[in-house]
Amino acid sequence: MAATPTQKPTPNKRPVTGAQAVTGLNLPNPALAALDPLSVLLPVGVAYSGGADSTALLHAAAQRWPGQVVALHVHHGLQAAADEFVRVCEETCQRLGVPIHVLRVRAGPAAGQSPEDAARLARYAALAQAATDKGLQAVLLGQHADDQVETLLLALSRGAGLPGLSAMAAQFERAGMRFHRPLLHLPAADLRHWLLREAIAFVDDPTNSDESYTRNRIRARLLPALQQTFPQFRETFARSARHAAQAQTLLVELATEDLARVGVPPQIKALQGLSGARQGNVLRHWLLTTHQATPSAAQLEQLLGQVAACTTRGHRIELKVADGQVTRDRDTLAYAARPSPG
């Protein structure tokens, strides 16, 4: 399926197709104001897919920091439209005078991993590596308020804990590279309206209308209903995500203190001196920070039961957690990851 540029640029003349819907509105690029509070070292990269959000972000960044912006386009090769995306992105960057680097990524999902998750992880890894190689100080991402709501609703549907309910962080670090999401407070419609008014080309990914994907069903069905019923839902959902993120920060601080008390690896008797909630919190923290393992809720509940039952020296613990196993080693817990095949 071919990509569908919302407008196709023509030399020396800006197209007007699609702009009539917002004629008469004097709208500045909302993404430009979103960059005002952002404090970053230069030069910066913009993760530029060619879609409306990253297109508005690229224009804003190029205006804010002339000559200090590099576009990074990840080509997954997952659909026939990918090559057309590259063409539109290259044309836009040429007009803006922004260098663009196309990063070709092939991501095969691991066992139990969805193709979407594999592609996302590969995308961030490629962006971090390319930004480092090119001497960039940070990478800007174009996720907006609608994306944040979708992420939170997906987390709720999975029964996620505080990390999931925190949705997307405004900034984070991956492989030593700083990432920023400056548009999280902006509705998608504001970005699209500005692009249409200015007759700036962007692409509509054909997979975004495929409702076999849960996120697309949320976008097509739930967000319009929320808009009608709770018009301020973007702001209120974002506030809830911030509250969850703050609570998660406190839990991490408490887990760090508790882990220092119970030791690494955790001493069983010291663990038993904590409340059940704090035991779960510190065990989750130990597994994640020391072994990069994330237990499921059921696995963590089983582990807590095993720790509580560990009242004699002969009591054994052998419990699968993530891709490894938690065992008892005398007076402490131990974790052994499953050996890689081959």
- Per-residue pLDDT of 201-239, as tens digits, reads 999 888 888 898 899 999 999 999 999 999 999 999 999
CB contact set of 139 (below 8 Å; sequence gap of 6+)? 44, 45, 46, 47, 72, 127, 128, 131, 177, 178, 179, 180
Fold of 263-337: 3.30.465
Can you give the residue ranges of every domain in the chain?
Answer: 4-237, 263-337
Instruction: Grade residue 260 by pLDDT with cuts at 50, 70 and 90.
Output: very high
- Give the model's pLDDT for residue 188: 96
Residues 307-337: tens digit of each pLDDT: 999 988 889 999 999 889 999 999 999 999 8
Other beta carbons less than 10 A from residue 284's beta carbon:
21
User: For the residues of 178-207, what is the DSSP string, one character each?
Assistant: EEE-TTTTS-HHHHHHHHHHTT---EE-GG
Which pLDDT value is given to residue 271?
Answer: 97
Picking from 18-22, 40-44, 251-255, which range would have the lowest pLDDT averaged per residue? 18-22
Nearest to 227 by CA among 155, 144, 146: 146
* Comparison of pLDDT for 1 and 144, the residue scoring more: 144
Specify the pTM. Answer: 0.85
DSSP E strand boundaries for the chain: 4-5, 44-47, 69-75, 100-104, 138-140, 171-174, 177-180, 203-204, 318-321, 324-329, 332-337
- pLDDT number for residue 341: 53
The closest alpha carbon to 44, from 201, 167, 182, 184, belongs to: 182
Residues 6+ apart with CB under 8 A from 203: 3, 4, 5, 6, 49, 50, 51, 81, 84, 85, 88
Tokens at residue 6, please? 């919302």
Superfamily of structural domain 4-237: HUPs (3.40.50.620)
pLDDT at 314: 83
